[in-house]
Structure 1
Amino acid sequence: VCSGTGDQFTLESGGQFDRFFQLGNAYYFQADYADAVKWYGELFLMPDAKEREYYYRYAQSLKAVQNYDKADEMLKEFYKNNGGDKRALLASEEKNYLEVIKKNSGRYTIADAGINSSRSDYGSAFYGQNIVFASARDKGQLNPWSGEYCTDLYISNLNNDGSASKPVKFGGKINTKFNESTPVFTKDGKTVYFTRNNYIDGKTAVDKNKITLLKLYKATKDGKKWKDIKELPFNSNEYSVAHPALSQDEKTLYFVSNMPGTLGGSDIYKASINGDGSFGTPVNLGPEINTEGRESFPFISAKNELYFASDGYPGLGGLDIFVAKPDSKGGFEKPINVGEPVNSPGDDFAFLIDTSTKNGFFSSNRDNGVGSDDIYKLKENKEIAEECIQNIYGRITDELTGKPISATVALYDSKGVFVRDFQTKNDGMYDFGKVDCSTSYKVKTEKEGFDSTEKTVTTGSETGKSLIDLTIKEQRLNLGGDLAKNLDIKNIYFDLDKSNIRPDAEIELAKIAEAMRENPGIKIDIRSHTDCRNSAAYNMALSDRRAKSTIEWLVKQGISRSRLTGRGYGESQLLNHCECEGNVKSTCTEVEHQMNRRSEFIITKL
């Protein structure tokens, strides 16, 4: 029996998975995401604990049916349970990934390649003026994994008008009763590397789970025949090796494997091709490219760009195609989603392009195709723009001393949604890392015993940095102290024999209300006073009315009544010598008397 040579290497086996786990996984790994959503949905209705990986698989399946809101919910849970996973970190950092993908979209024109059958067709390669690809169109061995026949390699001539001739079988003895797929040719057309099931000389080998795995093979051309079919030295009967790609100088072979040391379901590796035809030790491309998900189907363009398929980066669903441009150190920059229409909610993979003509091909199982997987031709109309990256950083200092201070500083988006935070050290420096260009953010710093401070910043439209320094001031609130005095708020005065709130008093009371909103834990006792004129009993009643009037004003501003107490003290607590004894009138001026007609805001709880 043959097993697939597509994007899936192994199906989880073993363990006591219940029916929903098994069905969800089975459909997920067959790229039947609609049915995967159905069964994962049933799974997530159950109260039982779920393994964190299922949050990610459910999210990917939801994206494939374009339920992006629900997918984002699952990704949040995935991040909460597994923040160290690169996929979780990307999901956290790139909340607006759909906007980023939208910016990169519309750069290609695509169409059916004209070579597809009702079966699976995928994984094309340039071969002179021809295209060679894998197809399950010919009846033979049945692949129980996909329900289709095993794939052979086919060839089609590419005409000048962009059309392709009728495909015919390619490679003679390269094709067997098992799967062959994803070839890549040297520029002279005399050597081919390709993927095949673990089969040679009429024999097959399976791993410990009785799965026929994948291996890489090499063949050379002698006249019109391909001969010397040999497997590569880093193949194994314990893991898969597949999907070869060649560097432009043909000195490096890129491929995919789930060998020990792989970060996820499958990673992209490279191995040097030595002058004597031997190969160097495989090297994992590392976390700069690989994730805990599936990376597969690499292709190196004439510009040394790495195109590959992945479900580990934020995308539209299933496998998306990404491109990573070469950096100055011989590696690759951060991968960029190539956008629509090449990417879709389905699986999109096996991208290749001729950078001189801008023509190329890719494979997809998107809706409305001819078969289960189909090959599409593409025309690149506009190159992908360099990624715009901004960086928000700065220093937190004490407003009074000017010295750097250790504090927590948080980043929020324009809607007030938390993005991430940073704890500064003694140097007061913070750095939020990469953020989006042309985007509004709010930076807010908090420290116990200090007033919070915030600033709004809009990042630049080009790659660069945004410096945002903040100062924080130590809180002067103290238990038993007057809130108004602590915050330098002017006294709240009343007119003679009046309890209504004056317009000038409203301005100061608004500051009291704002301070209480910013410090939701404090409670205050409002103490109102009068001058000595009139009887002591009358003044006590008047001051009580003033306290109640102040409380009612604050309640109307949204301050909870449970945080407010108060009463009047009449003339019992004069601030100056302006006393009235018996029938003797005070000689104080009106200004001196007004000092006693006041309200105090004593902090009773912090």
Structure 2
Amino acid sequence: MKHKVNLVLILLLFLHGMAKAQERLIEKGNEKFEAYSFSPAIDIYKKVLEKGYVSAELLRKLGNSYYYNADYKDAADTYKRLVADYSEEVTAEDYFKYAQSLKTLGDYDTSSTIMTKFIDITKGDGRATAFNEDRDFMAEIKENSGRYTLGPFEFNTTYSEFAPSFYKEGLIFSSDRDTGNFARYRHTWNAKDFLDLYEVNADSSSLNTVKKLDENINTRLHESTSVVTKDGQTLYFTRNNFVEGKYIKDDKGIIRLKIFRAQLTEGNIWGDVEELPFNSDAYSVANPALSPDEKTLYFVSDMPGSLGESDLFMVTINQDRTFGPPQNLGPNINTEARETFPYVTSDEILYFSSDGHPGLGGLDVFATKIKRQDFTGKVLNVGEPINSKGDDFTFIFDEELRTGYVASNREEGLGADDIYSFVELRPLVFDCIQKVTGTVRDKVTNEVLIGATIKVIDENNEELFSTITDSDGTYSLELDCNQGNFVRALMEGYIPFEEYIGVSDGKPKIIDFYLEKDRITAGFGDDLAKLLQLSTIYFDFDKYNIRKDSEVEIEKVIAAMEKYPSLKLKVNSHTDSRGSAAYNLWLSQKRAESTVNYMIKKGISKDRLKSEGYGESKLLNGCSDGVRCSAAQHDVNRRSEFIILE
């Protein structure tokens, strides 16, 4: 019995020791995970699993380690086990990364099912909102696909090549092909060698030769994404937090990323390397890109205020080379996931990579128009073959040549990451196009106005473009129906007129313009009522007092007489044929006198006005006594005239 008790005690102590060992191993794995050392974290977590210890947290961190290392097959398998065995502990982010991993593997149906679960437990998440919108994203991606032809990049190796940027006649790119130290330093994120910057075909003296940038730029840690100003004098690039020969860690032991700026010095050597002032030891700042005018720097960061794991930001570059405060590009572009690797073309189209917007899997390349730094436009997936089931990133594009480069870890590549050249066959269609047509006419004569100018002006009062009317007085426009615009018609000698067209569904629209002359040329005997386009001056049945609705029209005549003091008028009043001729003559005279008296009360001198009633003696149509006519036909004859006497 005593021996049995001793055996039990020994077994308990042994099990306790094993448990303690497992805890220490997990703690070590967690330390590596928190320090972004995912490769050793994977090794440790796998050992713990092999020894029979498993938990939701362990599977989550193992799955995330695979995910961040772009090992989507193992990530999907791990998340699947997490969902199956610990369904009550699965988080929204677990479902999202699981769905992304499945999409990368081409299992879109299961990915969609998992995304539905993500939506069910998520509130206010932009990724869920986008997925839940009444849009067929796969159909949109298919529509945008086939616009590029991919080609090789002859300088790829079995190592990683990515982050191309235009430099002189060639490129600068990042690679771990040659550390120069026999892999003494390896990055524990993915157990790969650290990255350096290289140039190729930058000038005629080194064609087809890959050359590492000098030691002022490359260190024993990471150097990657870069951009050079158009004059070739300033280089912005990403580097680990490495200053004066020492690397700096944050309070979690992580070496963050920073953007540095270098100047080209004598002998074509990069020097005067300085870190940018909005860098921090507490968060990463990386992946610089310049606006076409080089007055704005775009970059990626997880700084406070970020919406997701990493966001796109911008900062103003002042004339004295200082910087303004960083600004987040907002929720239309940034999601709760990863947005990274920005690039801005000469036409101000922002390309970037994301796994938060709907895509084919992993990181996909997206594009949006940002003219005048408007970040609210539609974000489009550029489609295949730029995007694949893998990670696709560091897209750059020359809009004049319609050529560019992109990096990807797709299966058919030579190394871990490879650069691909491409040619654009047809441009990406961002705009909702609305066709607007119409005719411009003289408001009085109804004649078409040939050569009238039609301007399109945006809501910031900036003219976008203009056209002129043809020999038929017609025009045709194509407007961006994602934004509001003013369409303005102008013609010499006429008062301009415009109409606002708001955001629309793109259906064709007809807008006819009727322009008034800016000066009225009139002489003896002309009817001022026609020249001023007066509406009918009505009187109540069998009455001759001025009605309120007619006062507005008479006030227009008064305004003309006040503007032209020498103007004298005769007010003629006419009736239709209904009623006796004698009565109509009397009634029309009373109405003419009533109109004149109203104008006199408003300040017009009596000696400038005359009146006469004509009754039914001057009908404009055949609606005389005994002829059946409609009310509308009779109305034509019930009119007032303001005939110019002087």
Q: Helix, strand or coil: the match of 2:272?
A: strand
Q: Tell me the alpha carbon deviations over residues 201-233 of structure 1, each in whole angstroms, 9 at most, x when there is no partner.
A: 111111222111100000000131111100000
Does structure 2 conserve the Cα–Cα contact (< 8 Å) formed by 1:125 and 1:132?
A: yes
Post-superposition offset of 1:18:
3.0
Greater helix share, 1 or 2? 2
Aligned to 2:166: 126
Does structure 1 conserve the Cα–Cα contact (< 8 Å) formed by 2:37 and 2:189?
A: no
Aligned to 1:515: none
Q: CA RMSD in A?
A: 2.6
Identify unmatched segments of 5+ residues in structure 1: 1-7, 391-433, 436-461, 467-606
Q: Which amino acid aligns with 1:313?
A: H
| Distance (Å, rounded) in 1 between the aligned partners of 2:116 and 2:332 | 22
Aligned to 1:213: 256
Q: Tell me the alpha carbon deviations over residues 447-470 of structure 1, each in whole angstroms, 9 at most, x when there is no partner.
A: xxxxxxxxxxxxxxx94379xxxx
Q: Which amino acid aligns with 1:384?
A: L
| Distance (Å, rounded) in 1 between the aligned partners of 2:337 and 2:358 | 11
| Distance (Å, rounded) in 1 between the aligned partners of 2:367 and 2:317 | 23
Does structure 2 conserve the Cα–Cα contact (< 8 Å) formed by 1:360 and 1:378?
A: yes
Aligned to 1:32: 71
Higher mean C-alpha displacement, 109-118 vs 177-186 = 109-118
Does structure 2 conserve the Cα–Cα contact (< 8 Å) formed by 1:153 and 1:175?
A: yes
Post-superposition offset of 1:81:
1.0
Q: 1:305 to 1:10 in 2, by over 3 A?
A: farther
Aligned to 2:235: 192
| Distance (Å, rounded) in 2 between the aligned partners of 1:266 and 1:309 | 11
Q: 1:127 to 1:180 in 2, by over 3 A?
A: same
Post-superposition offset of 1:186:
0.4
Q: 1:294 to 1:248 in 2, by over 3 A?
A: same
**Are residues 1:293 and 2:337 paired?**
yes
Aligned to 2:420: 376
Post-superposition offset of 1:290:
0.5
| Distance (Å, rounded) in 1 between the aligned partners of 2:345 and 2:252 | 37
One of 311, 317, 322 as aligned partner of 1:273: 317
Post-superposition offset of 1:96:
1.7
Q: Which amino acid aligns with 2:130?
A: L
Higher mean C-alpha displacement, 134-143 vs 355-364 = 134-143
| Distance (Å, rounded) in 1 between the aligned partners of 2:288 and 2:426 | 27
Post-superposition offset of 1:328:
5.6
Q: Tell me the alpha carbon deviations over residues 518-555 of structure 1, each in whole angstroms, 9 at most, x when there is no partner.
A: xxxxxxxxxxxxxxxxxxxxxxxxxxxxxxxxxxxxxx
Q: Tell me the alpha carbon deviations over residues 21-75 of structure 1, each in whole angstroms, 9 at most, x when there is no partner.
A: 1211100011111111111111111133211111110000000001000111111
Does structure 2 conserve the Cα–Cα contact (< 8 Å) formed by 1:114 and 1:164?
A: no
| Distance (Å, rounded) in 2 between the aligned partners of 1:193 and 1:339 | 29
Identify unmatched segments of 5+ residues in structure 2: 1-33, 42-54, 435-480, 483-503, 509-646
Aligned length: 387
Q: 1:329 to 1:375 in 2, by over 3 A?
A: closer
| Distance (Å, rounded) in 1 between the aligned partners of 2:135 and 2:99 | 14
Aligned to 1:222: 265
Q: Tell me the alpha carbon deviations over residues 94-130 of structure 1, each in whole angstroms, 9 at most, x when there is no partner.
A: 5521111000000001122111111111101000101
**Are residues 1:59 and 2:84 paired?**
no
| Distance (Å, rounded) in 1 between the aligned partners of 2:251 and 2:222 | 20
> What does residue range 563-582 of structure 1 map to in structure 2 within 5 Å?
none
Q: 1:185 to 1:94 in 2, by over 3 A?
A: farther
| Distance (Å, rounded) in 1 between the aligned partners of 2:398 and 2:330 | 27
Q: 1:145 to 1:135 in 2, by over 3 A?
A: same
Show structure 1 runs of 4+ deviating over 2 A: 8-13, 16-19, 326-332, 386-390, 462-466
Does structure 2 conserve the Cα–Cα contact (< 8 Å) formed by 1:219 and 1:226?
A: yes
**Are residues 1:238 and 2:278 paired?**
no
Q: Helix, strand or coil: the match of 2:73?
A: helix
Q: 1:10 to 1:302 in 2, by over 3 A?
A: farther
Post-superposition offset of 1:166:
3.2
Q: 1:361 to 1:159 in 2, by over 3 A?
A: farther
Rg larger in structure: 2
What TM-score, normalized to structure 2? 0.57
> What does residue range 93-172 of structure 1 map to in structure 2 within 5 Å?
93=133, 96-139=136-179, 140=183, 141-157=185-201, 165-172=208-215
Q: 1:389 to 1:63 in 2, by over 3 A?
A: farther
Does structure 2 conserve the Cα–Cα contact (< 8 Å) formed by 1:63 and 1:316?
A: yes
| Distance (Å, rounded) in 2 between the aligned partners of 1:182 and 1:206 | 21
Identical columns (%): 44
Does structure 1 conserve the Cα–Cα contact (< 8 Å) formed by 2:37 and 2:188?
A: no
Q: 1:188 to 1:143 in 2, by over 3 A?
A: same
Q: 1:361 to 1:40 in 2, by over 3 A?
A: same
User: Relative contact order (alpha carbons < 8 A, sep ≥ 6): 1 or 2 greater?
Assistant: 1
Post-superposition offset of 1:172:
3.7
